Amino acid sequence: MVSDFLIVCNEQEKRRINIQCILYISTDDYVSTLYLLNDQKFVCTKPLCRIVNCLPDFFLLISRSSLVNLNHVQSIKRSQRIIVLTDSTEIEVSFRRIKALNDALTNQNVTFTR
């Protein structure tokens, strides 16, 4: 069962984060960084593979190290394999994940640019 909040922690604190506020999550080695609305971020020690299992279907793995909230995708530049989020962040999509991204956005009735 997926809840409306994600509980994550690091060495200093444990935080309850509203899932709707997550723009995307990236990982480097065993450290995951959650990028949130209002230019906030939270670094946690939870690996991306565990975070994926706690999130609803509108989160999509776009590469080995990036997970994006599809509700915050503003556009996709297919020829460059880059998505633009609502906060103007640009993230590269892996070649193997571009079809899954296109399908997911099409299923959500999202239009995007070339």
* CATH value at residue 49: 2.40.50.1020
Which pLDDT tens digit goes with each residue over 75-100?
A: 988 889 999 999 999 999 999 998 89
Domain count within the chain: 1
Domain containing 48: what range? 5-107
pLDDT for 108 equals 73
- Per the model's pLDDT, the better-predicted residue between 47 and 59 turns out to be 59
- Per the model's pLDDT, the better-predicted residue between 114 and 31 turns out to be 31
pLDDT class for 33, splitting at 50, 70, 90?
very high
How far is residue 114's CA from residue 48's CA, in Å, rounded to a whole number?
Answer: 29
Going through the chain in order, the beta strands assigned E by DSSP cover 5-9, 14-18, 22-28, 31-36, 40-44, 59-63, 66-69, 73-77, 82-85, 90-92
pLDDT for 110 equals 52
pTM metric for this prediction: 0.86
Q: Does any domain span residue 21?
A: yes
